[in-house]
Amino acid sequence: MELDRKIFTDQFTSVAACVPSRTTKDVIKNVLLSVQGETATLTATDGELHMQSAFACPPSKPMRTLIPAARVIQIVRELDLETLELDVSDGKVILKCGGSTFALGVEDHTNFPPVMTFDDDSYFEIDGHAIRRAIKRTIFSTDVEITRYALGGIQIQISDSSALFVSTDSRRLSLCPCPCTRVNNPTCVDAVVPVKAMKLVESSHGEKVHMACRENSIAFRIGDVSISSQLVQGRFPDHRKVMPDLDAITRRVTLPVSATASIVRQASVISTTESRGIDLNFTADTLTAMSDATDIGSARASMPISLQGEPMMITLDGKYVADFLKVLSGEASIEMALIASDERALITAGDYQHVIMPWAWQRQLELAGI
């Protein structure tokens, strides 16, 4: 069977992202290839996350075989001709490209586990650009260390025609809404989706994303790609209890993203793992970012502002401030709303909201091992 090398490489690499890097089940280290008529389908799973992608191919005889994921990715990245030949013979997958031939032993495809796919008639439809933006603006706030399992994903809450994406690692909180459309009256969603599944959705291309939630799983369809995943179990915090009391806010200031990111980076140069906090000193007309680390030195960078309210200084984690600013356009502006130096800060960019705990709170949690 002849395949377009670039199309196959792109499709295979995308699906292989679902293959686990560590597993005791050797069979799921492979990608399942199924060919029927003029359609080839690639399927991968790690046991809880499943991905399937279909693409057009020349008319071929039916084929079903496992393909070693890691080895084939290495091979196709070294090839540069337009056409790739793939066949199965004597229990081996044969790959040919120009003068190169690779024969790889494969396992019995009948041992590959069944996977969940998107076959729902009732679902939510979300604009592809909107959901990718919502994921980008929340995924960095998840608990990558998985100290609390329930925080290792993005919470999706849907009611009526709006989806709210929420993430937290207990030290910061991100909320990003995006519009959605109900198709055939699906039930409302309140689910926590694992980070790995969200990354696959974010990296998939397509103008529309269809999403269906089941009792313990969720499924997405983006064009010819299907992604299904078990949900994260456990109690996810109520974001409404984390948000600052808007009536208590006494200071507001509008800041350009590019200039703010610059002074935060400059102040963060003088920092250590144990002391990532930077002082943000707000006066009527100036914001100064400062850091001071024993045996290293100090840094100070300023920019003009127009503060509404009394002067104040707050110490925040420089990395957390930088993470938030990275997902925004440099030409955009943010509003920072402050209550007091020992209270959480609320930063907004349009309908996108981000809360950061003051450094003293965060450091106490770290010292307590939380």
pLDDT digits (tens, 9 = 90+) for 302-343: 999 999 999 999 999 999 999 999 999 999 999 999 999 999
Asked, for residue 178, whether it belongs to a domain, the answer is: yes
Residues in the chain: 370
Residue at which a domain ends, from 111, 146, 181: 111
End-of-domain residue from the set 238, 268, 289: 238
pLDDT average, residue stretch 55-78: 92
DSSP per residue, 192-235: EEEHHHHHHHHH---SEEEEEE-SSEEEEEETTEEEEEEPPPSP
The helix/strand/coil state of 268 is: helix
Identify whether residues 142 and 182 lie together within a single domain: yes
pLDDT value at residue 255: 98
> Is 116 contained in some domain?
no
H or E, element range at 323 = helix 318-326
Of 216, 205, 226, whose CA–CA distance to 45 is shortest?
Answer: 226
First to last CA, the chain: 54
Phi, psi values for residue 203, rounded to 5°: -85, -10
pLDDT of 145? 73
What angle (nearest 5°) sits at the alpha carbon of residue 147, between those of residues 145 and 150?
105
Domain shared by 128 and 106, yes or no: no
For the segment 199-251, what is each residue's pLDDT rounded down to a tens digit? Answer: 999 998 889 999 999 888 999 999 999 999 999 988 888 999 989 998 999 99
* Cα angle 210-215-217, degrees, rounded to a multiple of 5: 55
d(CA 201, CA 198): 5
- Give 351's pLDDT tier (boundaries 50, 70, 90): very high
- Indicate left, alpha or beta for 154 from its phi (over 0: left) and psi (-120 to 50: alpha): beta
pLDDT of residue 96: 94
Same domain for 7 and 45: yes
pLDDT tens for 157-194 read: 998 789 999 999 989 999 999 999 999 999 878 999 99
Cα 293 to Cα 75: distance, rounded to the nearest angstrom: 48
- 207 occurs within a structural domain: yes
Cα(359)–Cα(370) distance, integer angstroms: 14
Cα gap 163→247, rounded to integer Å: 26
- Quick check: is 118 in a domain? no
Q: Report the distance separating Cα 323 and Cα 72, nearest Å.
A: 35
Model confidence at 365: pLDDT above 70: no
Q: Residue 308 has what DSSP assignment?
A: B
Closest CA to 20 of 69, 62, 54: 69
**Whether residues 254 and 363 fall in one domain:** yes
CB neighbourhood size of 181 (10 A): 12
263 and 343 in a common domain = yes
- pLDDT surpassing 60 at residue 45: yes
The verdict on 172 and 201 lying in the same domain is yes
Q: Which percentage of the chain shows pLDDT scores above 70?
A: 96
CATH number at residue 183: 3.10.150.10
Q: Is the separation of the CB atoms in 210 and 128 below 8 Å?
A: no
Q: Please, which pLDDT band fits residue 366 given cuts at 50, 70 and 90?
A: low
Looking at the DSSP assignment, which residues form a beta bridge with residue 54? Answer: 41
Average pLDDT over residues 7-32: 93
Assess whether pLDDT exceeds 80 at residue 356.
yes
Give the model's pLDDT for residue 146: 62
Average pLDDT over residues 58-83: 92
**Which whole number is the average pLDDT over 132-139?**
97
One domain, residues 225 and 341: no
DSSP string, 118-143: ---SSEEEEEHHHHHHHHHTTGGGS-
- Assess whether 233 and 252 both reside in one domain: no
**Could you tell me the pTM of the whole model?**
0.91
Q: How many CB atoms lie within 10 A of CB 90?
A: 7
Given a cut of 70, whether residue 265 has pLDDT beyond it is: yes
| Residue 100 clears pLDDT 80, i.e. is over it | yes
Q: Within 13 Å and on the Cβ side, how many CA atoms surround 213?
A: 21
Answer yes or no: do 255 and 362 share one domain.
Answer: yes
pLDDT band, residue 363 (cuts 50/70/90): low
Please report which confidence band the pLDDT of residue 364 belongs to, taking 50, 70 and 90 as the band edges.
low
Say yes or no to pLDDT of 113 above 70.
Answer: yes
Q: Is residue 117, in this structure, part of any structural domain at all?
A: no
Q: Is the dihedral of CA 158, 162, 165, 170 positive or negative?
A: negative
- Whether residue 284 has pLDDT greater than 90: yes
Could you tell me if 227 and 291 lie in one domain? no
pLDDT higher than 50, residue 367: no
Mark whether 215 and 321 lie in a shared domain.
Answer: no
Checking if the pLDDT of 38 tops 50, the result is: yes
Domain count, the chain: 3
239: nearest Cα among 192, 185, 205, 291: 192
Q: Mean pLDDT, the chain, as a whole number?
A: 91
Residue 194 and residue 249 in one domain: no
Query: Are 342 and 277 a contacting pair, CB within 8 Å?
Result: no
Domain of 27 in residue numbering reads as 2-111
The pLDDT, as a whole number, for residue 39 is 94
Q: Which residue, 193, 213, 238, sits at the end of a domain? A: 238
